[in-house]
Amino acid sequence: MIDIVDEISGAHDVRLAFHLGPDVQAELHGASATLHWRGAAMPGAARLELPRELGWSLHRGETHPILGWYSTGLGRRVPAVTLLGCGRSASCELFGTRLEFVNTGTVTESDLTRPAVSWGTPDAMAVEVPGIQAEAG
């Protein structure tokens, strides 16, 4: 979601949100989040590498503003994690996110907190894909 456009510099204030399910627990370490869903029908763990260009915060069950909730239906809400990234971006800047699932039977904290293999933008992301169009506000 693009919030504000600065006509002089061509930069945008950007907010990017990842809404996780109520069974997912998360810890945020800079631009990296460790995710666990131990109590779910299918337990699991993952590491989410977020765009470093944004400042990241974790929200769960907040009311001012309303952030970090999951709803199973009208009038029903359950606290859930929302990861929110905020910052400024040039019009042509790409943001990359990487999700890596880990084997929960052998997972260690070092598996979840080690740095990503690569921070470069793959060439495939830099080209236009027919039928896919970016949304701008």
Q: Map out the domains of the chain as residue ranges.
A: 2-104
Q: Which residue has the higher pLDDT, 129 or 42?
A: 42
Weakest-pLDDT range from 11-25, 76-90, 94-108, 115-129: 115-129
Cis peptide leading into residue 115 (ω within 30°)? no
Do the strands 44-49 and 32-37 form a parallel or antiparallel pair, or are they unpaired?
antiparallel
Query: Which range is most confident: 39-48, 59-68, 96-105, 114-123?
Result: 59-68
Number of Cβ within 10 Å of residue 50's Cβ equals 21
User: CB–CB of 83/67 below 8 Å?
Assistant: no
- The SS3 assignment for 96 reads coil
pLDDT tens for each residue of 70-83: 998 999 999 999 99
